[in-house]
Amino acid sequence: MMLPVPPAMRASAAKSPPPMKTVVRRIKFESELDLAFGERVAERAYGQKLLSCIQCGTCSATCPLSHYMDYTPRKIIAMTREGFKDEVLNSLTIWLCASCYSCQVQCPRQIHITDVMYALKREAIARGFYPAHHPIPVLARSFYERVFAQGRNTESRLLITLYLRTNPLVMLREAFLGFHLWRKGRLSLKKESIAGRKDLRKMLNAVEHGKKEEPL
Amino acid sequence: MTYLYFPGCSLRSTGRAYEESLLAVCRKLEIPLHELDDWNCCGATAYVSIDETRAFTLAARNLAIADHLPQPDGSDPQILAPCNACYMVLAKTHHFMESNAEVRAHVSTALHAGGMTYTGQTRVRHPLDVFVNDFGIDRIAKKVVHPLKGFRVACYYGCQVVRPFSEFDHPVYPMTMDRLVTALGAESVDWPMKTRCCGGSLTGTIQEAGFRLNRALLKEATKRKANIILTCCPLCQHNLECYQQRINRRYGETINLPVAYFTQFMGLALGIPAKELAIQRLFKPPLSPAPAGKQEIHAHA
């Protein structure tokens, strides 16, 4: 099987086109890989099923977003298993996954692919493996903070936070739609929250002491 | 049996029409609902990207609240979650609490810290499942006063309502909503994209990818001569309706399809006034079906 070219190597190859044919290494040496990475991810994503992937490509074929991914889901699984940790955690694929579960319900080996993607997302966020202003992780984090504090999400406020933390100019583009939604009574700036916020925070904080994920 | 209604955050803002029409239909069908006391956000798909055990705990708090409310007839308490994401997350949490001892142990400890317990009684249901399988499609058909002749409906289920923790229909090509709209007098269109993802929040983050997903859905529905798309999820409805004009401008399309909630459509057939069904909250109200005279003839026939 041909392994995908890591983007870092691809970029450096493009920067200096060799005047004459030189030898370019396209694949990592085994010593550069994190060989236990696959097993650690498999554990995180419920069971060792990940390791039994037969590389049939059903996941990539059913995924509605594989066109936009730098590595298709099948490749992500292969690379995870082989230990291409940096490439996997740096990939756009894990952020593009919209959790529609179509791969998971059709996988002939019953691999929890969506849970694998979640495990990779968590690891990438925890280790800062994503561009600082990338909207998807920023949205996830803003959502997390809001729900942690209030117990509920307020869609309008969440989006405003997202735009402020990524690209405030987008807010101008979306203002027109926002106005229309408001006119139809479908947009409210009122902050939603629950009465049991304190107890909820106690529960969520109890998790921190109970189970904190070790870095992969 | 009283269903414990779990609105979720969307039904209080962008999905307000869904809440209003759902409540109106339940009143009409005399299905008793009681809003789950002090429910909290389910965590959607974003929370689990940060912290999995906390995400399970967040969702489990709702299951635990319902757990303490046994039914008078002794049956398990049932949560009614109309948003696909809430439905999937709550069902997934219930599933993991049942089947994964490690998750159960961590989440139970966390719930105890806030003075709650979950014994695993709560069932999670979607209104589509409840209307068709609990109330019964024949009983609904008998209550139809305005058969919705002339509508060719593309039933859009979205992704998370049928997979992977739901059991009431096929994960790729479900028929529950199609059967329902047929019983309401409309025609359902054979549309293979009915469970293909709309991209969820991608329309707000990576718009190019999100728009293209919705464009494919809208184009295929148009090609199959649908004159309305019905959804059962607030995010699907928002994506398919609100970005139509921008998709048209960006890709040179001429798509012009009303996108409504299946509950609004049911309500129209059951004779509930359009105002109560929040039809006015849609950007493009569904075209009126056959003229009133014809409907009466049909109703007597």
How many C-beta atoms lie closer than 10 Å to residue B240's C-beta? Answer: 25
Q: For residue A6, what pLDDT band results from cuts at 50, 70 and 90?
A: low
* Nearest neighbour of A98 by CB, restricted to B163, B195, B200: B200
Q: What is the mean pLDDT of residues B79-101?
A: 94
Gap between the Cα atoms of B35 and B144, Å rounded: 27
Q: In terms of DSSP H, where are the helices of A29-91? A: 37-44, 58-62, 73-82, 85-90
Number of A/B CB contacts below 8 angstroms equals: 182
State the amino acid at position B158 in one-letter form: G
Helix axes A197-210, B101-113, angle to 10 degrees: 130
- Report the alpha-carbon angle A102-A103-A108, nearest 5: 125
State the amino acid at position B201 in one-letter form: S
pLDDT of residue A209: 58
Q: Say whether residue A23 is in contact with chain B using an 8 A CB cutoff.
A: no
Residues of chain A with C-beta less than 8 angstroms from the C-beta of B39: 194
Gap between the Cα atoms of A159 and A157, Å rounded: 5
8 A C-beta contact, residue A56 and residue A32 = no
Q: What is the mean pLDDT of residues A71-85?
A: 94
Per the CB < 8 Å rule, is A210 touching B199?
no
Gap between the Cα atoms of B159 and B197, Å rounded: 5
Mean pLDDT for all residues in chain B: 91
Q: What is the mean pLDDT of residues B41-55?
A: 89
pLDDT (tens digit per residue) in B231-276: 999 999 999 999 999 999 999 999 999 999 999 999 999 999 999 9
Per the CB < 8 Å rule, is A203 touching B114?
yes
Top residue of A141, A186, A188 to mutate, by most chain B CBs within 10 Å, is: A186
Residue A87's closest CA among A37, A141, A139?
Answer: A37
Q: Is the pLDDT of residue B48 over 60?
A: yes
Helix axes B52-67, B101-113, angle to 10 degrees: 70
Q: Which residues pair with B152 in a beta bridge?
A: B187
Percent of chain B scoring above 70 in pLDDT: 95
Q: What is the mean pLDDT of residues B120-129?
A: 94
Q: Is the pLDDT of residue B157 over 50?
A: yes
Domain A31-129 has CATH 1.10.1060.10: yes
Q: How far is B109 from chain A (nearest CA, A)?
A: 8
Q: E strands along chain B, which residues?
A: 3-5, 33-35, 78-80, 123-125, 152-156, 187-188, 228-231, 259-261
pLDDT (tens digit per residue) in A23-54: 888 788 888 898 899 988 988 877 778 889 99
pLDDT (tens digit per residue) in A132-164: 678 888 888 899 999 999 999 988 899 888 888
* Nearest neighbour of B197 by CB, restricted to A100, A139, A187: A100
Q: Is the dihedral of CA A56, A58, A59, A64 positive or negative?
A: positive
Omega within 30 of 0 (cis) for the link into B164:
yes
pLDDT of residue A211: 58
Top residue of A114, A201, A211 to mutate, by most chain B CBs within 10 Å, is: A211
pLDDT (tens digit per residue) in A158-215: 988 888 888 888 888 888 899 999 999 998 888 889 998 999 999 999 887 555 567 7
Q: Is the pLDDT of residue B90 over 90?
A: yes
Q: How far is A120 from chain B (nearest CA, A)?
A: 8
Per the CB < 8 Å rule, is B164 touching A206?
no
Per the CB < 8 Å rule, is A195 touching B16?
no
Q: Is the pLDDT of residue B140 over 70?
A: yes
* Nearest neighbour of A140 by CB, restricted to B50, B115, B116: B50
Q: How far is B299 from chain A (nearest CA, A)?
A: 33
Q: What is the mean pLDDT of residues B165-190?
A: 94
Residues 6 or more apart in contact with residue B72 via CB below 8 angstroms: none
Q: What is the mean pLDDT of residues B199-211?
A: 90
8 A C-beta contact, residue B89 and residue A175 = no
Q: For residue A99, what pLDDT band results from cuts at 50, 70 and 90?
A: very high
Which domains can be identified in chain B, with CATH numbers?
A: 3-125 (1.20.1050.140), 136-300 (3.40.50.11810)
Looking at residue A71, what DSSP letter applies? S
Task: Give the start-to-end residue ranges of the domains of chain A.
Answer: 31-129, 131-204
Per the CB < 8 Å rule, is A141 touching B50?
yes
Q: Is the pLDDT of residue B87 over 90?
A: yes
Gap between the Cα atoms of A203 and B62, Å rounded: 13
Percent of chain B scoring above 90 in pLDDT: 81
pLDDT of residue A21: 77
Per the CB < 8 Å rule, is A156 touching B51?
no
Mean pLDDT for all residues in chain A: 86
Gap between the Cα atoms of B29 and B23, Å rounded: 10
pLDDT of residue A2: 52
Residues 6 or more apart in contact with residue B78 via CB below 8 angstroms: B1, B3, B4, B66, B122, B123, B124, B125
pLDDT of residue A141: 87
Give the strand order in the sheet containing B33-35: B33-35, B3-5, B78-80, B123-125
Per the CB < 8 Å rule, is A122 touching B39?
no
Q: For residue B143, what pLDDT band results from cuts at 50, 70 and 90?
A: very high
Name the A residues in 192-211 with CB < 8 Å from any B CB: 192, 194-196, 199-200, 202-207, 210-211
Gap between the Cα atoms of B126 and B134, Å rounded: 11
Q: How far is B14 from chain A (nearest CA, A)?
A: 4
Per the CB < 8 Å rule, is B114 touching A143?
no
Model ipTM? 0.88
* Nearest neighbour of A139 by CB, restricted to B46, B116, B281: B46
8 A C-beta contact, residue B180 and residue B137 = yes
Per the CB < 8 Å rule, is A185 touching B111?
no
